[in-house]
Chains A and B, each alone.
Chain A
Amino acid sequence: MTEVTLTKKDFTSDQEVKWCPGCGDYSILSTVQSYLPELGVPRENVVFISGIGCSSRFPYYLDTYGMHSIHGRAPTIASGLAISRPDLSIFVITGDGDSLSIGGNHLIHALRRNVNIKILLFNNRIYGLTKGQYSPTSEQGKVTKSTPLGSLDTPFNPVSLAIGAEASFVARSIDSDRKHLTEVLRAASAHKGSALIEIYQNCPIFNDGAFDTVKDNETKDGALLKMVHGEPIKSATHGLVHAGSSLKLVELGSVAESELVVHDVHNPDPSYAFALSRFSNSKLDHVPVGIFRDVERAEYGSQVNGQISDIIAAQGAGDLETLLTSGDTWDVA
């Protein structure tokens, strides 16, 4: 077989992209299309499965196998596919409503099982497709069509939720930061098991500017706490230090550089990653970005298939005639 080098163009379908002008989904799409050749997997072995929402139209624009399924259920379909077809590279595309409202149950269970699927959660903190109702990640007090007096619900922090659900890989990136998102995608692909990547995504129509503090040149350096494995966690102005069993935000200069927490993505203790996740509040004045957690844990599909191959190795493959004639049988002449 001759090695063919694939390009971004090979992963781009002929479908016209139909998001609103300026939508953050465009840049995510472009980054993913550019990244896929590097994945090193033949196009036919790549599958994108999405739910319902603006973001979930994503699979149509990629020339791979793809399924635009139903609201919230993509992780279930992807799990069945991943368990029965371990040869495939499977991505789930989902929105904050899709994955955290209607599909919340499936998200946490896929993560705890550690099924080999990479979940890209496009968090625009709003229901885009249904024209702008508040979502489970909208900040409290959000005024939308369905909450004219402001929303009352306490929002989810998707990263905290994923860590609570025993996720083995959790990261956060930003739609417009192509380089950073590519790095995170690379690490997620190398990880065995499920990966959740929260991507802050701007919806210029219904929630414009939701992530401006982490995107605008004037504010972003102070707001982004960059997490790089083996390096101190800090922004331009602040850093993190240990405080008992937790972490504390301090101004740079108020402590010695050597006091700052040196990031360890492989820290087996989930409370470390959880403590990190708590710094991203609704106001987004200090937001950790990068990989929170990347630990090794048995992947579900290979365990399922391992049980099967073990029993076949021990007892031989099943024989239908033996099965049907098993138990108490008798002959009638």
Chain B
Amino acid sequence: MGKPVVSLDQVTIRFAGDSGDGMQLTGDRFTMDTASLGNDLSTLPNYPAEIRAPQGTFAGVSSFQLHFADHLIQTPGDAPDILVAMNPAALMANIKDLPRGATIIVDQDEFTTRNLSKVGYEANPLEDGSLDSYKVHAVGLTSLTVAALSGLSLSRKEAERSKNMFALGLLSWMYHRPTEATESFLKAKFGKKPEILAANLLAYKTGWNYGETTEDFAVSYEIAPAKMPAGKYRNISGNTALAHGLIAASQLSGLKLFLGSYPITPASDILHELSKHKKFGVITFQAEDEIAAIGAALGAAYGGALGITATSGPGLALKGETIGLGVMLELPLIIIDVQRGGPSTGLPTKTEQADLLQAMYGRNGESPVVVLAPSTPSDCFAIALEAARIATTYRVPVMILSDGYIANGSEPWKIPSMSELPDLHVEFAKTQEDFLPYLRDTKTLARPWAIPGTKGLEHRIGGVEKADKTGAISYDPMNHDLMVRARAAKVAGVEIPELTVDDPKGDADVLLLGWGSTFGPIAAAVESLRANGENIAQAHLRYINPFPKNLGKVLERTQR
């Protein structure tokens, strides 16, 4: 290729368009091709709650941001270096995030008087000089795509649909992305519709060639692979990592996986993903509501399965009473809350970390549960294994607090080898004389997991306070006090790793402590402060209840 190539160390791209324009798919493909090149990366999709807002409107703008680099990065990036805007609405919705000097690629065919007025542009921003401080490439994405596909027997509308592939091809040329994976992806996706396949492949290639030949694009860019630990990698989102972690937990424990769930954004993809993997013996149950979903999971856990329920904040509110029953029954149960903006319906497709207190205390009575919080998308895999270990060892409900940012965001994940995975083997209670359903293990304080079908262990449990050891109904205040303390002590005594502190010099006087999905942004902030010579430490909580035992010490070490 004759054009000059410039080397960059990192780039943030945002694809934005109408929700019908296929921006998530375009972003996903660019991500996969970037991952296979060996860059480190982090992604953030952002889509409207409306499935099909009126075309070309502000409400209908969907976007996908990707940050990739030749070094390890922590976040999907703040300000995009380059924005691909498929219409005026997408430009208007995203321009405020763009620093001066950034590159903008627009589909100029969409900048019609009608489309401009839909979002309130009085003049065409491509012509009125308002974008003078940006590098603007006005490309006829629609017309070029339609012209390229004129040899195929497609209607104009059908041909126009491939314009996202034209854009992807163009960007792939600009950043030297390999094309094989996307080509085989398209073949797999549209294999049964040869015309559509041909259209997508042709649009993709034409976009690439357009970059190569047109004078509008003078340079292309190279980003060297990041230095990552050796191993096999894949790009993974938080919800997929959680689902695969739960399947791994089921395989490693020998327990049947039972997911009870009621669809809710942004948790539904856990249900979707697990539903695909029935050959692992996975049972997915789409219940009539969140209460039924957790009830079924608890019933399955009673029968000896790995019982799981996945939801978001409003659903967690409905599950409170059943979580309390799980606390009383002392059965293993995993509750996933993929948090979203609240209160009430709140912001279904936007992220927030505001369910912490609900997770900790959102139940009647003294009803402690274990609370874990993954810090990144790929960390969800490890957190799922931890949740299963703790739930089955201590016979206690375990809450996982993920959020929309982690759930839908993605990053490269070094796939663990089978030998690195923990042994989660579980023992059920065996037939015995004088069985005591609430006799506690002296070390873990767990009661026996005595599943129906075990001869001689027939017993009754329920939500009414239990007598110590026998599990019979008891209204005795002293016994209640004993049991409240026992349930609390059991959770407080869960064995977890100590909190590690990232403090390169060992004498930082400021510590940044976070939990959950703030890990990436905090780490990025710490990096840039250190680059400015600040002596700063970072620690991140993945265990919220109980806290790591050394947390107090860690906090005492630094002044602030």
Which A residues contact B (CB, under 8 angstroms)?
13, 15, 42-45, 47, 49, 52, 59-60, 62-70, 73, 75-85, 87-88, 105-106, 109, 304-305, 307-308, 311-312, 315-318, 320-321, 323-333
Contacts and interface: CB of A to CB of B under 8 A. Distances in A.
A331 B225 CA distance: 12
Contacts of B292: 73, 75-76, 79, 105-106, 109
A64 B456 CA distance: 9
Interface string B296-308: 1111111111010
Interface string B262-298: 0000000000000001111111010111011111111
B52 interface: no
A323 B277 contact: yes
Given A73-B322, A77-B296, 10 more contacts: A13-B460, A43-B455, A44-B458, A76-B287, A106-B292, A109-B292, A312-B281, A323-B244, A325-B415, A328-B36
B49 interface: no
Closest 10 CB pairs of A and B: A76-B295, A68-B462, A80-B299, A80-B296, A318-B280, A77-B299, A81-B299, A66-B460, A80-B300, A109-B288
A83 B283 contact: yes
B300 A42 contact: no
A312 B281 CA distance: 8
7 contacts: A44-B455, A65-B459, A70-B325, A73-B291, A81-B300, A315-B279, A317-B280
Nearest to A333: B230
A315 B277 CA distance: 11
Interface in B340-367: none
Contacts of A85: 300, 303-304, 452-453
Interface string B459-492: 1111110000000110000000000000000000
Interface in B218-244: 225, 228-235, 244
A42 B279 CA distance: 31
In this complex, the member of B287, B293, B303, B321 whose beta carbon has the largest number of chain A beta carbons within 10 angstroms is B303
Contacts of A332: 38, 225, 228-233, 414
A73 B291 CA distance: 8
A36 B532 CA distance: 77
A52 B462 CA distance: 10
A75 B473 CA distance: 22
B247 interface: yes
A59 B289 CA distance: 26
Contacts of B181: 328
B416 interface: yes
- Interface of B: prevailing SS: mixed
In this complex, the member of A15, A68, A69, A311 whose beta carbon has the largest number of chain B beta carbons within 10 angstroms is A69
A330 B38 contact: yes
A80 B295 contact: yes
Contact of B463 (A68, A75, A305): A68
In this complex, the member of A44, A47, A327, A328 whose beta carbon has the largest number of chain B beta carbons within 10 angstroms is A328
A307 B258 CA distance: 14
Contact of B305 (A63, A66, A84): A84
Given A80-B285, A323-B244, A44 B454 contact: yes
Contacts of B233: 329-332
A305 B324 CA distance: 29
B105 to A, nearest CB: 25
A84 B277 CA distance: 16
A83 B461 contact: no
Contacts of A52: 463
Contacts of B445: none
B193 to A, nearest CB: 22
A77 B244 contact: no
Contacts of A109: 287-288, 292
B286 to A, nearest CB: 11
A324 B303 CA distance: 28
A328 B177 CA distance: 14
B299 A308 contact: no
Nearest to A325: B415
Interface string B142-181: 0000000000000000000000000000000000000001
B185 to A, nearest CB: 8
A29 to B, nearest CB: 14
Contacts of A304: 283, 285
A288 to B, nearest CB: 29
Nearest to B277: A318
In this complex, the member of A47, A77, A323, A331 whose beta carbon has the largest number of chain B beta carbons within 10 angstroms is A77
A154 B416 CA distance: 61
A311 B229 contact: no
A320 B285 CA distance: 22
Nearest to A60: B460
Contacts of A323: 244, 247, 277, 280
B248 A81 contact: no
B226 to A, nearest CB: 9
Contacts of B414: 332
Nearest to A71: B321
B234 A328 contact: yes
A78 B287 CA distance: 13
Contacts of B230: 332-333
Contacts of A77: 295-296, 298-299, 302
A186 B299 CA distance: 25
B299 A49 contact: yes
A68 B282 CA distance: 27
In this complex, the member of A47, A78, A81, A87 whose beta carbon has the largest number of chain B beta carbons within 10 angstroms is A81
A68 B460 CA distance: 8
A325 B231 CA distance: 11
Contacts of A88: 303, 452-453
Nearest to B414: A332
B453 A70 contact: no
B67 interface: no
Nearest to A61: B460
Contacts of A45: 452-453
A320 B247 contact: yes
B235 A307 contact: no
A318 B247 CA distance: 10
A109 B293 CA distance: 12
Nearest to A78: B299
Nearest to B255: A84
A319 to B, nearest CB: 9
Contacts of B329: 67
A324 B232 CA distance: 10
A307 B291 CA distance: 25
B461 A68 contact: yes
Contacts of A326: 234
Contacts of A60: 460, 462, 473
Contacts of B232: 325, 329-332
